């Protein structure tokens, strides 16, 4: 079964916006993703009958409060990978260096334009990201599969990440599983988030400190978190100005 078939075969009941079960299913999706760090694996686990749930799938069992509690307990007891951020970084660098689909045939691409993608893309080069590298990545397309490791690397929940890139959670799940090419505005937002993160790492020299700064309200950003400003190129520039000032001093 293909990834797309696996997604489309998911039970639709209760997943409509405004339905009584919508919030419960969103919570279930996020909990499963938090354990597996893969929408495809989470979807498979949620749909597979489980002996501990009297033969029901976790999604079916979660229809009652008691069943939901059992499902959450099962998820808590599943083994987890303790080096997820390092793995997420490797996945991100691979996906950034692997064009989804060139907009132009290779023969029509100006000399040098593909050079940035002929080698592995290091996230260290995102502090800051050069316009040439950013343009090259956007031009050649960014796979939606990048959304899975992106949330893990940035330390944000799937719903928070979906909101940051301007997608509904279910839409983000679907594009991550199928691997569709991201729309340019979404892809640009992904690059801005990564650039902010790498610059914050460069400034604070701690992943935990950088993550806390990027996700906490800031008085110089109208009380919003720096990551919230990533949806706008101008907003992103403002965050970068503050980070540069923190590192080197100067007016902001």
Please write the tens of the pLDDT for every residue from 110-120: 544 444 454 56
Q: What is the pLDDT of residue 69?
A: 92
Residues linked to residue 143 through DSSP beta bridges, in sequence order = 181
Q: Is residue 67 within a helix (H) or strand (E), and if so which, with residue range?
A: helix 65-77
| 3-state SS class at 143 | strand
Is residue 65 domain-shared with residue 89, that is, in the same domain? no
92 and 62 inside one domain:
no
Residue ending a domain, among 77, 97, 127, is: 77
What are the beta bridge partners of residue 181? 143
Q: Are residues 117 and 236 in the same domain?
A: yes
The residue out of 33, 53, 77 marking a domain boundary is: 77
pLDDT over 90, % of the chain: 50
Q: Cα-flanking dihedrals φ and ψ of residue 143, to 5°?
A: -70, 140
The pLDDT tens digits along the chain (252 residues) read 555 555 545 544 444 445 567 788 888 888 887 777 677 778 888 989 998 899 999 999 999 999 999 999 998 887 655 467 888 899 999 999 887 754 444 444 454 444 445 456 899 999 999 999 999 999 989 999 999 899 989 988 888 999 999 999 888 988 988 888 999 999 999 999 999 999 999 999 988 899 999 999 999 999 999 999 999 999 999 999 999 999 987 655
Residue 24 shares a structural domain with residue 115? no
List the one residue out of 125, 185, 200, 220 whose CA is nearest residue 155: 200
State which residues form the domain around 37.
3-77
- Least Cα distance to 199 among 216, 214, 217, 215 occurs for 214
């Amino acid at each position: 079964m293909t990834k797309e078939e696996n997604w489309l075969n998911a039970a639709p009941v209760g997943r409509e916006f405004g339905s009584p079960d919508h919030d419960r299913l969103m919570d279930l999706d996020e909990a499963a993703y938090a354990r597996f760090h893969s929408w495809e694996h989470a979807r498979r686990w949620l749909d597979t009958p489980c002996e501990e749930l009297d033969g029901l799938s976790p999604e079916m069992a979660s229809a009652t409060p008691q069943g939901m509690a059992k499902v959450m307990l099962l998820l808590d007891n599943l083994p987890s990978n303790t080096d997820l951020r390092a793995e997420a970084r490797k996945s991100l660098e691979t996906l950034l260096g692997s064009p989804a689909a060139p907009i132009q045939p290779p023969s029509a691409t100006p000399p040098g334009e593909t050079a940035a993608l002929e080698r592995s893309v290091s996230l260290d080069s995102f502090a800051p990201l050069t316009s040439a590298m950013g343009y090259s990545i956007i031009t050649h397309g960014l796979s939606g599969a990048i959304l899975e490791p992106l949330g893990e690397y940035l330390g944000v929940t799937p719903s928070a990440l979906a909101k940051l890139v301007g997608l509904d959670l279910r839409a983000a799940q679907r594009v991550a599983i199928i691997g569709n090419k991201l729309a340019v505005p979404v892809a640009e937002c992904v690059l801005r988030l990564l650039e902010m993160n790498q610059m914050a790492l460069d400034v604070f020299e701690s992943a935990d400190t950088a993550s806390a700064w990027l996700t906490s309200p800031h008085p110089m950003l109208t009380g919003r978190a720096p990551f919230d400003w990533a949806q706008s190129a101008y907003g992103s520039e403002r965050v970068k100005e503050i980070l540069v000032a923190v590192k080197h001093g100067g007016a902001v």
